[in-house]
C-alpha cells in the first residue's frame, strides 16, 4: 500500500469575488491519503470542504500549493478522480442506463468492446441495486435511487480516487443507513480510495479510517485529524453501544461544537483559525446538539 | 390472446369516452367556449360600427361583411384561375399531340402557364420565403449561440455587434441587400428570383437575433453541476455539446426559434412590399396601388390571413418544441 497515494501540499485558494481583495477560502491545507483509505471531511457549513474536494477533482485550480495523485500533479478534471455530487447531477434527459453509459463509453471507449461495456454498466447498476430501473429517467425515481445511480456512474469509471460531496445529505435516515451499508460493502470489496464530505458525525465515524476536521473559514485549514481504529467489518447496531465508538464520536462533536463553535458562536469569538476557548459555547449547547444528532441516528439504527 | 387484448382495451376506451363526455359537458363547454365567442362577437360589432364612421378616398372602410364578400371574391378568382390554367395545359397537350401525330419528328414546345398569381399562390410564396429566411438565419444563429454560450471570451467579442444590429429595421437592410444581391448574384440561369433572395435575406437578418440571444443565454445558464459532471467524465467538446449542451438548452433554443419565426413573419410583409417579391406583401401593395373600391376589403382579407398564418406558425413551433423537448412534463405556452 502506498501511504502517499494522494497528497495535498500547502493548498490554498482565493476566489475573485469582484471586491477589492479576493476571498481566501483555504489556506495551507496539507493531507496525505493512503491507497485504499477511506477519509471523511467534516466541518461547519461554508468552511471549504467542497472546495477541497473540487481541487482534488481538478474542477478548481489551487492558488498556491497543489495536489499529487500517484506521483502526478492534478491539473484538470478526469475520470480517475470521479465525483459523486451532492445533488446527484444526473443528466435529466438520459435514462439511468444511459447516464452510466455516457461515462463508461467515454472511459472504456478503446479498452472494452460494446458488449463488455454493456455488461459493465449493468454490473455497476446491479452493485447499487438499481437493475430494476435501467430505463427510467431520473425524474421518475426517488432521491435515494438517484444518489445510487450517481454512485454507480462514479464507480463505473473505475477511478483511482472516489470523491463524494455529501452523497447522502438529502436522504432520510433509513435510506441513508442502507446506502452507507452498501458503500461500506462496495469499498471493502473493491478497495477504493475514498474522500467523502459529510455533516453527519455518526456516518463519518462508521465509514472512515480517518476523519479530517476542518476549522471555520475564511482561510480554513485542517484543524485536527482523528484516526478511527475500529475493526472492520463494522456493524452499525453493534457499534452504537461500543464505548470506543461513542468516545470517537464524542471527540468529533467536541471539535465541531466546542472548540470550533457554531457559525453564530464563532462570530463573537476570537480571530478565525486559532483555537477558541471552550467557554465560548454555553455548556448546555453542546450536549443538546449531541442529543439531537443521537436521536436522528436512533431512527436509522432501528432500520 | 386477441380476446384478452380486446377485454383490456375495452375499459380504456370506456374511460376515454367518459373523459371526452366530461370535457363536453354543457357547463364546462359554456365556460370554455363562451368567453372567446363573446370576445369575437364584441370585436366584430365594434369593427362594424367603427367602419361605418370611417370614409376614405377609396370609399367606406370595410366592415366584416364586406371583408367576407372579398373572401368569396378571392376564392372565386382562385377557382377561375385554376380552371384557366387547366384549360391552358389541356390545349397545349392537344396541340402538341396533334403535331406529333402529323409528324413524329416535329419539335414541340411545352410552356409553363404564366397567369397572374392568385391569393393562395401569394400566401405560398410568402411561406416559402419566410421559411428560407428562417432556416438561413438559424443555421447561423444556433451554432453561433452555442459557441457564445460556451465561451465568455467569444461572447464578449460578439455581444457589441449583436446589440447594435439587433434593433435595425428590415427597411434599412433591404436597399443594401438588394444592391449586394444584384451585384453578386449574376447567374445566367438563376435558380432563385432576385426579389425572393432580397426578401429572404432581409428576413434572415432580422430573425437571427432572438435565436442567437436565447441560445447564448440557455447555454451559458446550464446547471454548473452538470457541466462539472461532464468535465469529470472528460467528454470531448463535440460529445459535450451533443449530450449535455443541446438537450439542456433545448427549451431556450426553442423559445428563440419561436420568437425568431414570429419576427420573420412580421418582417416579411414589409420586405415583400419593397422587394416586389410576389407574396402577401406585394398583394397588399398592389391592392393599395390599384385603388379600387374593393381594395381596402381585400387588404383586410390579407391582414386577417397574415394574422391567422402567424398564429398557425407559432402553434407549429410549439408542437415541434413538445416533440424535441426531453422534459415531456414541461408546460409550454
Ligand atoms: N466559486 C466561488 N466563488 C467565490 N466564493 C466561493 C466559490 N466557491 C466557494 N466559495 C466560498 O468558499 C467558501 C467555502 O465554500 P464551500 O462550498 O467549499 O463550503 P462547504 O464547506 O462545502 O459548505 P457546505 O457544507 O455548506 O457545502 C464559502 O465561503 C463560499 O462562499
Ligand atoms: Mg459543500
Q: Which cell numbers hold the place of A194?
A: 475514498
Inspect the interface and report whether the beta carbons of B243 and A139 lie closer than 8 Å. no
A79-99 average pLDDT score: 92
CA distance to partner chain B, nearest, from residue A8 (Å): 19
Q: What is the distance of C-alpha A16 from the center of its chain?
A: 26
pLDDT for residue A73:
93
Do you know the residue count of chain A? 303
Containing structural domain, residue B273: 117-324
- The total number of structural domains that make up chain B: 2
Domain membership of residue B83 (yes or no) is: yes
Cβ of A58 closer than 6 Å to ligand 1, yes or no, is no
Specify whether B174 is located in the same domain as B306: yes
Using a CB-CB cut-off of 8 Å, the residues of chain A touching B225 are 85, 87, 89
Grid coordinates belonging to A206: 462508521
Minimal Cβ distance to B326: which of A59, A83, A92: A92
pLDDT digits (tens, 9 = 90+) for A166-221: 998 878 888 889 889 989 998 998 889 999 999 899 999 999 999 999 998 788 89
Q: What is the pLDDT of residue B11?
A: 66
Instruction: List chain B pLDDT tens, one digit each, 333 residues.
Output: 444 555 555 666 677 777 777 766 777 778 888 888 999 999 999 998 988 888 888 788 888 888 898 888 888 888 888 888 888 888 888 888 888 888 887 777 777 777 777 788 889 999 999 999 999 999 999 999 999 999 999 999 999 999 999 888 877 888 899 889 888 887 777 778 888 999 999 999 999 999 999 999 999 999 999 999 999 999 999 999 999 999 999 999 999 999 999 999 999 988 888 888 888 998 999 888 887 888 888 899 999 999 999 999 999 999 998 888 877 767 666
Looking at the CA of A24, which ligand is closest?
Answer: 1
- Among the partner residues B228, B243, B327, nearest to A89 by beta-carbon distance: B228
Taking 50 as the threshold, does the pLDDT of residue A25 lie above it?
yes
Which helix (DSSP H) or strand (DSSP E) does residue B184 occupy?
A: helix B170-184
CA of B259 vs chain A CAs: smallest distance (Å): 25
What pLDDT shows up at residue B186?
Answer: 79
- Residue ending a domain, among B116, B146, B164, is B116
Asked if residue B332 belongs to a domain, the reply is: no
Domain boundary among B116, B146, B181: B116
Least confident residue range of A6-15, A248-257, A286-295, B30-39: A286-295
Q: Are residues B79 and B206 in the same domain?
A: no
CA distances from A146 to A123, A155, B205, B230, B233 (A): 17, 14, 45, 17, 18
Confidence grade of residue A157 (pLDDT, cut at 50, 70, 90) = very high
Query: Mapping DSSP to helix (H, G, I), strand (E, B) and coil, where does residue B187 land?
Result: coil
Note whether B229 contacts A92, CB cutoff 8 Å.
no
Is a pLDDT exceeding 90 seen at residue A278?
A: no
In a domain, B51, yes or no: no
Residue B59 DSSP SS3: strand
What percentage of residues in chain A have a pLDDT greater than 70? 85
| Ligand (nearest to CA of A198) | 1
Q: Are residues B91 and B155 in the same domain?
A: no
Average of per-residue pLDDT across A265-294: 39
DSSP calls for B268-282 = HHHHHHHHT-TTHHH
Helix (H) or strand (E) holding B55: strand B55-56
Strands across the sheet with A161-165, in order? A81-84, A161-165, A193-197, A38-42, A210-214, A222-227
Q: How far apart are CA B309 and CA A28, in angstroms?
A: 66
B122 and B105 inside one domain: no
Name the DSSP letter for residue B1. Answer: -
Residue B128 has a pLDDT of 94
CA A76/CA A74 separation, integer angstroms: 6
Q: Are A125 and A117 in contact (CB under 8 A)?
A: no
For residue A43, give the ligand 1 atom closest to its CA.
21
φ and ψ of B294, to 5 deg: -85, -15
Q: Are residues B83 and B144 in the same domain?
A: no
User: B207 and B86, same structural domain?
Assistant: no
Same domain, B106 and B247: no
Kindly determine whether residue A82 and residue B225, on different chains, have CB atoms separated by under 8 Å.
no
Residue B211 within any structural domain of the chain? yes
SS3 of residue B60 by DSSP: strand
Residue of A nearest to B223 (CA): A89
Task: Assess whether B159 and B71 both reside in one domain.
Answer: no
Q: What is the mean pLDDT of chain A?
A: 84
Coil, strand or helix: which one is B56?
strand
> Pick from B223, B232, B243: which is nearest to A57 by CB?
B232
Q: How far is the CA of A73 from the centre of ligand 1 (A)?
A: 23
B222 touching A, CB under 8 A? no
- In angstroms, the CA B50 to CA B47 distance is 5
The reply to whether B161 and B259 lie within a common domain is: yes
- Is residue B214 in a domain? yes
How high is the pLDDT of residue B23? 67
Q: What CATH number has the domain bearing residue B170?
A: 1.10.3720.10
Ordered domains of chain A (ranges, CATH): 6-269 (3.40.50.300)
Residues B155 and B293 in one domain: yes
| Cβ of A17 less than 6 Å from ligand 1 | yes
pLDDT tens, position by position, A217-276:
788 899 889 999 989 889 988 888 899 999 999 999 999 888 775 444 444 333 444 343
- Do B90 and B178 belong to one domain? no
Rounded to a whole number of angstroms, the distance from the CA of A284 to the nearest CA of chain B is 39
pLDDT at residue A131, as a whole number? 92
In a domain, residue B37? The reply is: no
pLDDT at A292 over 60: no
In a domain, B17, yes or no: no
pLDDT at A10: 93
Q: Does B290 share its domain with B182?
A: yes
Residue B21 lies in a domain: no
Q: What three-state secondary structure class fits B125?
A: helix
Question: Per residue, what are the HEC states of chain A?
Answer: CCCCCEEEEEEEEEECCCCCCCEEEEEEEEEEECCCCEEEEECCCCCCHHHHHHHHHCCCCCCEEEEEECCEECCCCCCCEEEECCCCCCCCCCCHHHHHHHHHHHHCCCCCCHHHHHHHHHHHHHHCCCHHHCCCCHHHCCHHHHHHHHHHHHHHCCCCEEEEECCCCCCCHHHHHHHHHHHHHHHHHHCCEEEEECCCHHHHHHHCCEEEEECCCCCECEEEEEECCCCCCCCHHHHHHCHHHHHHHHHHHHHHHHHCCCHHHHHCCCCCCCCCCHHHCCCCHHHHHHHHHHHHHHHHHHC
A100/B233 Cα distance (integer angstroms): 11
Last residue of a domain, one of B94, B116, B138: B116
Amino acid at each position: 500500500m502506498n501511504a502517499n497515494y494522494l497528497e495535498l501540499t500547502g493548498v490554498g485558494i482565493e476566489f475573485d469575488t469582484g471586491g477589492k481583495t479576493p476571498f481566501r477560502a483555504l489556506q495551507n491545507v496539507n493531507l496525505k491519503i493512503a491507497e485504499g483509505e477511506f477519509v471523511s471531511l467534516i466541518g461547519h457549513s461554508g468552511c471549504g470542504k467542497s472546495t477541497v474536494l473540487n481541487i482534488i477533482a481538478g474542477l478548481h485550480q489551487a492558488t498556491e500549493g497543489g495536489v499529487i495523485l500517484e506521483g502526478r500533479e492534478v491539473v484538470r478534471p478526469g475520470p480517475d478522480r470521479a465525483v459523486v455530487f451532492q445533488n446527484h447531477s444526473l443528466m435529466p434527459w438520459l435514462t439511468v442506463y444511459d447516464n452510466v453509459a455516457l461515462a463508461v463509453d467515454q472511459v472504456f471507449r478503446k479498452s472494452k468492446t460494446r458488449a463488455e461495456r454493456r455488461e459493465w454498466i449493468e454490473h455497476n447498476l446491479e452493485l447499487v441495486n438499481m437493475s430494476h430501473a435501467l430505463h427510467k429517467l431520473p425524474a421518475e425515481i426517488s432521491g435515494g435511487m438517484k444518489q445510487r445511480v450517481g454512485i454507480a456512474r462514479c464507480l463505473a469509471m473505475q477511478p483511482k480516487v472516489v470523491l463524494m460531496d455529501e452523497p447522502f445529505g438529502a436522504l432520510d435516515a433509513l435510506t441513508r443507513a442502507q446506502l452507507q451499508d452498501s458503500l461500506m460493502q462496495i469499498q471493502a470489496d473493491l478497495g477504493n480510495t475514498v474522500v467523502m464530505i459529510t455533516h453527519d458525525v455518526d456516518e463519518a465515524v462508521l465509514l472512515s479510517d480517518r476523519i479530517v476536521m476542518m476549522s471555520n473559514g475564511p482561510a480554513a485549514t485542517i484543524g485536527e485529524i482523528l484516526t478511527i481504529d475500529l475493526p472492520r467489518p463494522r456493524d452499525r447496531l453493534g457499534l452504537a453501544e461500543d464505548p470506543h465508538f461513542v468516545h470517537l464520536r464524542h471527540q468529533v462533536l467536541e471539535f465541531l461544537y466546542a472548540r470550533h463553535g457554531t457559525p453564530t458562536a464563532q462570530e463573537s469569538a476570537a480571530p478565525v483559525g486559532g483555537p477558541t476557548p471552550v467557554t465560548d459555547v454555553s455548556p448546555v449547547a453542546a450536549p443538546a446538539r449531541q442529543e439531537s444528532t443521537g436521536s436522528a441516528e436512533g431512527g436509522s439504527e432501528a432500520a | 390472446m386477441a380476446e384478452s387484448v380486446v377485454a383490456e382495451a375495452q375499459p380504456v376506451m370506456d374511460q376515454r369516452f367518459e373523459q371526452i363526455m366530461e370535457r363536453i359537458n354543457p357547463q364546462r363547454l359554456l365556460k370554455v367556449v363562451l368567453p372567446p365567442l363573446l370576445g369575437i362577437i364584441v370585436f366584430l360589432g365594434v369593427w362594424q360600427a367603427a367602419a361605418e364612421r370611417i370614409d376614405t378616398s377609396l370609399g367606406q372602410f370595410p366592415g366584416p361583411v364586406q371583408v367576407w364578400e372579398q373572401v368569396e371574391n378571392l376564392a372565386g378568382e382562385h377557382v377561375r384561375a385554376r380552371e384557366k390554367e387547366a384549360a391552358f395545359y389541356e390545349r397545349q397537350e392537344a396541340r402538341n399531340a396533334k403535331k406529333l401525330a402529323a409528324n413524329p419528328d416535329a419539335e414541340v414546345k411545352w410552356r409553363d402557364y404564366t397567369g397572374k398569381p392568385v391569393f393562395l399562390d401569394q400566401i405560398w410564396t410568402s411561406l416559402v420565403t419566410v421559411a428560407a429566411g428562417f432556416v438561413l438565419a438559424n443555421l447561423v444563429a444556433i451554432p453561433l449561440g452555442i459557441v457564445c454560450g460556451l465561451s465568455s471570451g467569444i461572447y464578449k467579442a460578439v455581444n457589441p455587434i449583436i446589440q447594435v444590429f439587433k434593433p435595425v429595421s428590415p427597411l434599412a437592410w433591404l436597399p443594401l441587400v438588394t444592391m449586394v444581391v444584384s451585384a453578386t448574384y449574376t447567374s445566367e440561369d438563376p435558380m432563385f428570383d432576385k426579389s425572393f433572395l432580397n426578401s429572404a435575406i432581409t428576413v434572415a437578418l432580422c430573425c437571427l437575433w432572438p435565436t442567437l440571444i436565447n441560445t447564448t443565454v440557455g447555454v451559458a445558464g446550464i446547471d454548473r453541476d452538470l457541466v462539472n459532471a461532464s468535465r469529470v467524465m472528460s467528454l470531448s467538446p463535440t460529445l459535450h455539446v451533443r449530450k449535455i449542451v443541446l438537450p439542456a438548452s433545448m427549451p431556450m433554443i426553442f423559445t428563440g426559434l419561436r420568437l425568431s419565426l414570429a419576427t420573420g413573419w412580421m418582417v416579411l410583409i414589409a420586405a415583400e412590399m419593397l422587394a416586389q417579391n410576389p407574396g402577401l406583401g406585394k398583394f397588399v401593395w398592389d391592392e393599395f396601388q390599384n385603388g379600387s373600391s374593393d381594395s381596402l376589403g381585400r387588404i383586410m382579407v390579407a391582414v386577417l390571413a397574415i394574422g391567422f398564418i402567424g398564429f398557425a406558425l407559432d402553434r407549429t413551433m410549439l408542437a415541434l418544441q413538445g416533440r424535441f423537448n426531453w422534459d415531456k412534463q414541461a408546460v409550454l405556452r
